[in-house]
Amino acid sequence: MALNPVTVVVAGFVLVVLVKTLAFGYVFAKYTNLFARVGLISRPMGIDRWAGFTALLVFSVGFAWLAATGEIPGEGEPMRFPVVLTIVGFGVGLFCVALAVSNLGRYRRLRDGEFVAGVAEPEGGKTVEAPLSGDHCLAWAVRVREHSGMFRRGGPPPIHRDSGGTTLVVQSATERVRVDASEASLDVWPVGGRPSRSDFVAREREGVPERVTAYAADADLGDADRSRIYEEVRVESGDSVTVFGSDADRTAVGGPGTVLADRAGETVRRQLNRRVRAGPAGAALALVCFGVAAFLAGAV
């Protein structure tokens, strides 16, 4: 089958535009700490790297194709706003698809009953000291945020995360499970901002305790910028938690991959339902917006 010369030229042009777009986007992202800033939203929402990267790649390819085969109106031209709006809608739709795909596995485990929601209690009365505050708890999570680039607007993005704890027991209405919080993944950070329950916050510009300075040195975080913020969330006895894990041995749920969420089971259920339902709506939005953008830009 002979290749159409026009097709070859257009494909080559799209490839050049795509490479330039990706290169410019990468430099811009590094300059603005965009990867860490996106992580403030994507990680708490459960979006994994591969789903996010695939959505970004599809958006880049679609944008490059529009630029190569059509004509995106310039500033002040009549069709500028509708085209830009549909391109933004295309990106939002892809984000919703990535959100749904990333949370699908946890949603299935929730649907299949591979979770326990209840009240956390210490096993044998054992607790651990949280590293920043020194308070005793069952599990802890630390996040350090700081402006590390030239772009310093907005809240500082995270530069360090850590978590730990001891073995705790979660008692639901029908069963009792054990969780090794030292190996579990603690899902405690809200989307984009501060912890929903600020157990401990220290800001470098206001001065930090010696315990926090020692933690930063042990974690090899380097010299602190005045924008640096240390945050700590603790899971304490009596807190409502939801644990995801294998149902092979309900007396010893825990280990790598387990998520310990500082939220009640029904709250987690509603969140996952909304995130998974966003997938079909996002796919429809992306297709419609891309088709409209291609028509308005003259690419079809």
Quick one: 250 and 151 in the same domain? Answer: yes
pLDDT > 90 in the chain, percent: 21
Structure-model confidence comparison of residues 240 and 36, the more confident one: 240
How many domains would you assign to the chain?
Answer: 2
Are 131 and 102 within one domain?
A: no
Domain hosting residue 42, numbered range: 5-109+274-296
Q: Which tokens sit at 46?
A: 């459960």
- Give buried/exposed letters for 193-223 (b at 16+ CB in 10 A, else e): eebeeebbebebeeebeeebeebbeeeeeee
Are 252 and 142 in the same domain? yes
**Quick one: 140 and 234 in the same domain?**
yes
Query: Is the domain of 127 the same as that of 267?
Result: yes
pLDDT digits (tens, 9 = 90+) for 177-200: 888 888 877 877 765 554 456 689
| 239 in Cβ contact with 140 (< 8 Å) | no
Q: What tokens appear for 298 in the block? A: 């003259």
Find the mean pLDDT for residues 6-31. Answer: 64
CB 120 within 8 A of CB 168: yes
248/283 same-domain check: no
CB 273 within 8 A of CB 45: no
User: Per residue in 73-119, pLDDT tens?
Assistant: 777 777 888 888 999 999 999 999 998 998 888 788 777 777 788 88
Query: Are 124 and 268 contained in the same domain?
Result: yes
For the full predicted model, state whether its pTM sits above 0.85. no
Residues 248-299 have pLDDT tens digits of 334 444 444 455 655 666 677 787 888 899 999 999 999 999 999 888 888 7
Rounded to the nearest 5 percent, the helix, strand and coil shares of the chain are 45, 20, 35
- Pair (242, 93) in one structural domain: no
